[in-house]
């Protein structure tokens, strides 16, 4: 009985075996549903749309985002790691309450990171950018109660942009993580907690001197005006 001979693999140029087709088929880009769910839920948590202590209906979230429960569950796992939600067995998933004391502690560490950012890229900032930084910080420091979170965000996002210019991925990721924790911890905190945080940063900018502030408007004592 003759043995059947196994077909030899095709060989490409140069005599190398080719175990796959020479022309690869185009693979469509996969939609990162878990990443999208994470981003949407994180924004809802940081904006206060989901209130502290509120139970999150994961089925409703999946319906809202038009996706299955699996990517939503993956997003919740990441949010638990971030400290934004808690999962209680047999009870459900809940928004972690903000904590003013936690806000202060986290904001202090974020300030240290921002000092490092300014020490690295501050000298390269154009005078207009320095003035913009001062304006945003001062606006957050003098905000009315109903405007405090929005102005606080504008200032923090400007600092996030500066952190991205440093060219250090580790620093940028740590800045983003701390900024997110600060934004969450402030939920439910009195507005003066936010304005005091910004006021401390205004004083830090003042300490750099009028020369560093470039074209920023100063008062009669040479200190930056609060807007």
Same domain? For 209 and 105 the reply is yes
Give tens-digit pLDDT for 38-70: 999 988 888 778 888 889 999 999 999 999 999
Same domain? For 189 and 124 the reply is yes
Same domain? For 160 and 57 the reply is no
Domain boundary among 49, 66, 95: 95
State the DSSP string of 130-151.
HHHHHHHHHHHHT--TTTHHHH
Residue 173 sits in which domain range?
100-213
Is residue 138, in this structure, part of any structural domain at all? yes
Global confidence as pTM: 0.67
Same domain? For 83 and 169 the reply is no
Domain boundary among 48, 72, 95: 95
Give the chain's domain count. 2
Is residue 132, in this structure, part of any structural domain at all? yes
Q: What is the SS3 assignment for 21?
A: coil
Rounded Cα distance, 181 and 175, in Å: 10
Same domain? For 39 and 109 the reply is no
Same domain? For 91 and 105 the reply is no
Same domain? For 63 and 113 the reply is no
User: What pLDDT sits at residue 204?
Assistant: 87
Rounded Cα distance, 156 and 46, in Å: 13
pLDDT at 126 over 50: yes
User: What pLDDT sits at residue 47?
Assistant: 77
Same domain? For 205 and 113 the reply is yes
Confidence of residue 96 (pLDDT cuts 50, 70, 90): confident
User: What pLDDT sits at residue 46?
Assistant: 81
Sheet of 85-88, strands arranged across = 55-56, 92-95, 85-88
């Amino acid at each position: 009985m003759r043995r059947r001979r196994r077909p030899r693999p095709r060989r490409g140029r140069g005599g190398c075996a080719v175990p796959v087709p020479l022309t690869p088929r185009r693979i469509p880009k996969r939609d990162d549903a878990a990443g999208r769910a994470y981003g949407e839920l994180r924004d809802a948590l940081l904006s206060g749309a989901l209130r502290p202590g509120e139970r999150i209906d994961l089925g409703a979230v999946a319906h809202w985002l038009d996706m299955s429960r699996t990517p939503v569950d993956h997003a919740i796992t990441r949010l638990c790691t971030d400290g934004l939600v808690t999962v209680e067995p047999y009870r459900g998933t809940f928004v972690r309450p903000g904590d003013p004391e936690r806000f202060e502690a986290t904001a202090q560490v974020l300030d240290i990171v921002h000092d490092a950012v300014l020490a690295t890229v501050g000298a390269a900032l154009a005078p207009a950018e320095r003035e913009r930084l001062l304006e945003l910080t001062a606006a957050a420091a003098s905000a009315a109660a109903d405007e405090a979170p929005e102005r606080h965000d504008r200032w923090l996002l400007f600092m996030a942009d500066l952190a991205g210019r440093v060219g250090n991925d580790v620093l940028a990721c740590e800045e983003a993580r701390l900024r997110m924790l600060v934004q969450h911890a402030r939920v439910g905190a009195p507005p003066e907690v936010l304005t005091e945080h910004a006021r401390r940063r205004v004083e830090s900018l003042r300490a750099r001197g009028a020369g560093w502030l470039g074209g920023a408007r100063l008062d009669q004592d040479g200190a930056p005006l609060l807007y």
